[in-house]
Amino acid sequence: GEDVEQSLFLSVREGDSSVINCTYTDSSSTYLYWYKQEPGAGLQLLTYIFSNMDMKQDQRLTVLLNKKDKHLSLRIADTQTGDSAIYFCAESMGANNLFFGTGTRLTVIP
Amino acid sequence: EAGVTQFPSHSVIEKGQTVTLRCDPISGHDNLYWYRRVMGKEIKFLLHFVKESKQDESGMPNNRFLAERTGGTYSTLKVQPAELEDSGVYFCASSQDETGDITDTQYFGPGTRLTVL
């Protein structure tokens, strides 16, 4: 079955870059996603990447995909206190179901 | 435009009781999903409705869980009788697409935190 793993916690100083990592086991994954959950709110889709891409950049966000190692990362440049949240990696194989990781709690220190 | 809403936001019940969670998807969205996050673990898929029909219920843990979506609008998820291991956050999501575009964004609600004592 699908297995998506993330480290549970990450702390960075305001203005530094954050890198959140994710590994997955299913090589047939077609789409990989990053969701953000702020306190008391639902999951917000930040970005997604097709499995045939290596990189996707969107303003302060950079997604890197190493399909050989089944490794996905999310880099947030110039991290701000408003970026403090839980970040979930998720993957799908073309069906509608999303398979999520445990989430990484990012704490930004002023 | 209103987002996905869920009610209640929190529920505390005793083992053996019944709880019903409600999800109102974004108006016009045919696809509705239920997910669950048990404390500290990953978010897991429970089931998927397309309109009023269950498209995939492979993630439902057991027959104590019953999901309905009468009329293809809001959905309820009933747990009867609740057990301690049912505690967690239950998320609902909806998406619009009817054509099967697999990149169709799922919009999530804030979740219902269920605590079973």
The residue of chain A nearest to residue B99, with distances taken between CA atoms, is A96
Could you read off the pLDDT of A38-71 as tens digits, one per residue?
Answer: 988 888 989 989 888 899 999 999 999 998 899 9
Q: CB of B2 within 8 Å of any CB in chain A?
A: no
Q: Do the beta carbons of residue B94 and residue B49 sit within 8 Å?
A: no
Q: CB of B7 within 8 Å of any CB in chain A?
A: no
Task: Write down the pLDDT at residue A40.
Answer: 80
Is residue A2 scored above 70 in pLDDT? no
The residue of chain A nearest to residue B34, with distances taken between CA atoms, is A97
Residue A94: band (very low, low, confident or very high) from pLDDT cuts 50, 70, 90? low
Can you tell me which residue has the tokens 């999800």?
Answer: B23
Is residue A1 scored above 70 in pLDDT? no
Distance (Å, rounded) from C-alpha B77 to C-alpha A40?
20
Out of B31, B95, B110, the one facing A42 most closely (by C-beta) is: B110
Considering only residues A70 and A28, tell me which one the structure prediction assigns the higher pLDDT.
Answer: A70
- Worst-scoring range by mean pLDDT, A26-30, A51-55, A102-106, B91-95? A26-30
A and B: number of Cβ contacts within 8 A? 64
Q: CB of B8 within 8 Å of any CB in chain A?
A: no
B23, B42, B49, B90: best to mutate for the A interface, most A CBs within 10 A? B42
DSSP string covering A22-89: EEE--TT--EEEEEEE-TTS-EEEEEEEETT-SEEEETTEEEEEETTTTEEEEEESS--GGG-EEEEE
Residue A30: band (very low, low, confident or very high) from pLDDT cuts 50, 70, 90? confident
In B60-89, the residues whose Cβ lies within 8 Å of chain A are none
Could you read off the pLDDT of B40-60 as tens digits, one per residue?
Answer: 788 999 999 999 999 999 999
Out of A31, A44, A102, the one facing B103 most closely (by C-beta) is: A31
Per-residue pLDDT of chain B (117 residues; tens, 9 = 90+): 679 999 999 999 999 999 999 999 999 899 999 999 998 788 999 999 999 999 999 999 999 999 999 888 999 999 999 999 999 999 999 988 755 555 577 889 999 999 999
